Structure formats: structure tokens, C-alpha cells
Amino acid sequence: MIPRRVWVRALGVRSPLGATWPATCAALAEGRSAVAPVSRFDARGYPCTVAAAEPTAADGEEDRRLALARAAAREAWSAARAVAPPGRLGVFVGAESGRTSFATLVSLARAAGGKATFDHGAFGVAARPVAARIQAPRMSPAAIASALAADVGARGPVETISLACASGSAAIVEAARAIRRGECDVALAGGTGADVDPLMFAAFGLLGALSERGVSRPFDAHRDGFVLGEGAAMTVLSHDREGALAEVAGVGRSLDAYHLTAPDPEGDGAARAMRAALTDAGTARVDYVQAHGTSTPLNDAVEARALRRVLGDALDDARVSSVKGALGHWIAGAGALGFVCAVEAVVNGTILPTAGLRQPDTECALPHVIGSAIRRSVETALVNAFGFGGANVSIVVRRP
């Protein structure tokens, strides 16, 4: 069986800079940044006190991951006008496990008693009033895809990908593969992240991953870590070319098998993912790279080296940028947001800038886009997403 081609029918984004993708894109093109002091909780005492928070996201015990994903999915689904029988419609979502509110976690910890031996009976009595506030579905990454499938009436393959920062792009890859194999005709795919909360600030702070200066500036000589952000990006893919924005021309995935949080310093896994995507697309060059570009010292340098190794001198004729400078790191939603930016470049020739980048690091000698967006014809774009655990995903997007 000859693999079917996969076409991008529509895009949807809910971000701190806009309720839709056109609104978000316009703000990004101007070089605006959503990074601001945290107001959702008291961030004093944390190593980083800023974030790119989505202002309309639900608080309390509601699932902000699902609220963001639904907003992005509605935009993409209404614009796609894709038709498929329920059994031929799939949903693929990149999502991490959810969390109850920090206040509830503290209450549960107090109910546990802090003794050397855990007393489940006593805990059950003390925690019962707290447990009533916990919604079980929000604790599972799978709940997002199931909810979206119910929203659009999908009864085909429904899948959740949880690969940290590579989750959203991996979901798009698996959706494309399902369409290629004929398992479904239309797929809603993307990722969502809602990690602007005390627990994640504390966790990433312990890892030393957050910017203590409070600035997201991928590839900059003075970068010192990433800034957390939140939002969702969704796309509708189809085997039907009619009305297509772009083609998912090539996909590649790999694993470093090196370290749980640090990338392979040689960038071998990243390079293998990029080469696989380029080979799948039948090309050796691209006009634009939407980089993973987290703003951490090691990750940016490794990605820059891997890009140079894979693309060689052809990289000088392309342009490279990272949306995380403006919208922070969405973790599970990051790769899907990068995919949307790559499609935008192919469709409209809008190459978005890397916000925060002022003085490029000599170790990251790339053809950067600084300040505001540039307009340029883009035939082919590459998007990268590299996650904790060494998961690497690359996608090639091409003009129809």
C-alpha cells in the first residue's frame, strides 16, 4: 500500500498573546512578549518570578489544560470544514499529567500527618473534605484527548502522547502516520500545556532550568534558562488535499538514551530526528527552521550544532527562530506551537522573530530573525522539539 499524503487543513491557538492564532501571530510578528511577573500565586522565594501565563485560563479545581486545548481545537475544527465518518476521525494530543491546585496538595499533605508511618485510615478521615474538591479526570493526561474526541464526535483512533517537551509535535507525527496508513481520514492533533503553578516552578527550579534573570532569550549569549508559559496549539490534518494550507511532508523521531534531563552534548539524537524527517520529505534543505530553542545554555548550543551538522552550508540560506522567546516554554504544548509557526511561514511567508534575542551566542551561529517578523518565500520549513528523557521530534512542512 502506497502511504497517503497528509495535508494541514487548519490551525488553532490559545495563547497569552491572543485568543486565536491570527491574533497571536500578529503580536508575535511585532516582536511582543507575554513574559510578565507572575500574578496567579505569590512567586516570592522561587528562582524565577515571571511567566507567560494565559490570562483567561481556568483556575481553582478546573482543568486548565483542557480549557486551553478546547479553545484551540474549536478554532481549528471550525476553520477546517473537514468531513469524515466518526470511525474515520482521530484525535491525537500531547499532554502531561494534570494536577490539582497547590492549596489542595498542601491540605492533603497536612492530612497525611507527617508521621514516619502512614496511617491510611486516619488519612482517609482527614482528607475526605479535601478529596471532594479533586476531579479525577484532570489528573490523567488521557482525559484531554478523550474530551476533545467527544467534542468533535471522533470514534477512530484516540491517542495521548506524553513525552515532556516533545509531546505536542509527537502527537502530530502520530496523527500524520495514522492518516498515511489509512487508519483514519481526518485527525485533530496538537498539544496543551498549563504549568504556571507553584509545584512546577519549584520542580523546574530544583533542576536549575528556569531563568533567574526572568528573561526568555533563546540563543542569546546571556541566556540562563527558560521561562514557563502556557497555552494550546491544535491542527486538523486530512488525506484530502482540497483547501489545504500545507503538507506534512516528512516526520522523524529518535531518542538520545543519554540522560533523563540533559541532552546528548553531541546532539546525535537531535540530528538523527532531523535527518529522518528530511529523508522522509525527500529534501536536503529547508528555507526556515522553527527551533526548539528553550533559552537554556546547553540545549540551545546542542541544537545549533546539530542543525549545522545536518544542513551544512545550506543553513546559511535559511532563517532560524524560536517562539519561546515570546511565549515561554509550554512543555507538552511547545512542539505543536512550533508546528503552527512553521505552517505560518509556509502559507504566508511570515517568519516570526526570536523575542528577547539581542546578542547571539557565538556557539549558536545561526541565521537568526531578531526584532520583528520578516517576509520571505518559504517552500519548506523544519520544526524541532526535544524533550526531557532525550525524546526528539522533527517535522518538515511543505507548500502544497
- List residues with catalytic annotation: 165, 292, 329
Give Cβ neighbours of residue 184 (< 8 Å, ≥ 6 apart): 84, 88, 89, 90, 156, 157, 178
Tell me whether strands 380-387 and 391-398 are parallel, antiparallel or unpaired: antiparallel
Classify 399 as helix, strand or coil.
Answer: coil
**194 to 104, 120, 233, 302, 373: CA distances (angstroms):** 17, 31, 12, 26, 27
**236 to 3, 63, 168: CA distances (angstroms):** 19, 23, 13
Strand partners, 8: 237, 246
- Cell reading at 247: 503538507
Q: How far apart are CA 328 and CA 286, in angstroms?
A: 25
Which uninterrupted H or E stretch holds 207? helix 198-207
- Concatenated DSSP letters for 246-287? EEEEEEEEEE--S-SSSPPTT-HHHHHHHHHHHHHHT-S--S
Looking up cell 509545584 gives 199
Q: Which residues of 177-187 are buried (b: 16+ CB within 10 A; e: fewer)?
A: bbbbeeebbbb
Is 316 exposed, middle or buried, given 0-12, 13-18 or 19+ CB atoms closer than 10 A? exposed
What does residue 383 show for φ and ψ, rounded to 5 degrees? Answer: -125, 135
Give Cβ neighbours of residue 227 (< 8 Å, ≥ 6 apart): 35, 48, 50, 51, 52, 210, 211, 214, 215, 216, 295, 324, 328, 329
Phi-psi label, residue 43: left if phi above 0, alpha if psi -120 to 50, beta otherwise: alpha
- Cell reading at 68: 486551553
Classify 107 as helix, strand or coil.
Answer: helix
